[in-house]
Amino acid sequence: MRALLRLLALCLLSTGARAFVWPHASTRGGRGRSASAASASAPSEDEEGLMVTIAKVRRPLGVILEEREGGSGVEVLDIDPRGNAAGEDVLVGDRVLMIDAQQCGDEGFDAVAGRIGASAGDRVELTLGRRIGTVRIIWPNGAQSGALPGEPLQELALKARYPVKYACTSGSCGTCEHRLRTPGDDIRYTRLCVARVPKGKEVAQVLPGDRF
């Protein structure tokens, strides 16, 4: 069965399809190092141009991983809003740098999925690389995504699987209007078809509109 699942994963990757990581029970003894030990050996911001964050996620993780272009490394493609990763510091777009104490920043999907499956304990320690300046976007359906200022919210809503009704797609009709809350309870109206991730914010929460 394990060989069949591995073959299926290889087929999915070769066609560019998404593959769902659903860790199985561990067969490896021992535990990874603590979060502080893992962060000490993880790539620094200067080396990778990334901020490093660590999340200990209970099984099953509830994430979809995708091999990066060129086959060097794996990143988070999607997070189940009802899954365990949704309650942790994991964002769509994060790059997986380490599983427990093991470096995997340049490994392909099969190797990373294997490390997750072989990880001991009921939680998996993920060391993640996140682009410097990333804004956390919180959607009404509970999904959270990471994006840089200026990225289109329309594309991010699609990746977050948050359904939005559009009509004109030029920002004039108001069909897709939502409210955007940023720290300090600053709430403003925005139309997702033309809106972009705000600058100078660490978090932005998208709320349903109330005028249309």
Examine the pLDDT at 167 and tell me if it is beyond 90. Answer: yes
Q: What is the mean pLDDT of residues 120-141?
A: 94
Measure the CA–CA gap between 198 and 135, rounded to whole angstroms: 8
The CATH number covering residue 159 comes to 3.10.20.30
Q: Which residues face 64 on adjacent strands?
A: 20, 78
Final residue belonging to a domain, choices 93, 114, 131: 131
> pLDDT band for position 47 (50/70/90)?
very low
List the domain range (segments joined by +) for residue 32: 2-131
> What pTM did the predictor assign?
0.70
Same domain, 168 and 64: no
N-term to C-term CA, the chain: 52
Measure the CA–CA gap between 138 and 144, rounded to whole angstroms: 5
Q: What is the mean pLDDT of residues 14-23?
A: 31
Q: Token match 């991983």: residue?
A: 65
The length of the chain is 212
The reported pLDDT for the residue numbered 56 is: 96
What is each CA distance from 177 to 41, 77, 168, 186, 210, in whole angstroms?
Answer: 45, 26, 12, 16, 8
Mean pLDDT of the chain: 80
Same domain, 126 and 185: no
Closest C-alpha to 95, from 59, 65, 125: 65
Final residue belonging to a domain, choices 113, 131, 149: 131
The reported pLDDT for the residue numbered 172 is: 95
Q: What is the mean pLDDT of residues 184-200?
A: 92
Is 55 buried (19+), middle (13-18) or exposed (0-12) by CB count in 10 A?
Answer: buried
Same domain, 123 and 190: no
> pLDDT band for position 155 (50/70/90)?
very high
The CATH number covering residue 104 comes to 2.30.42.10
Examine the pLDDT at 69 and tell me if it is beyond 80. Answer: yes
Q: Token match 């069949």: residue?
A: 4
Q: What percentage of the chain reaches a pLDDT higher than 90?
A: 61
> pLDDT band for position 101 (50/70/90)?
confident
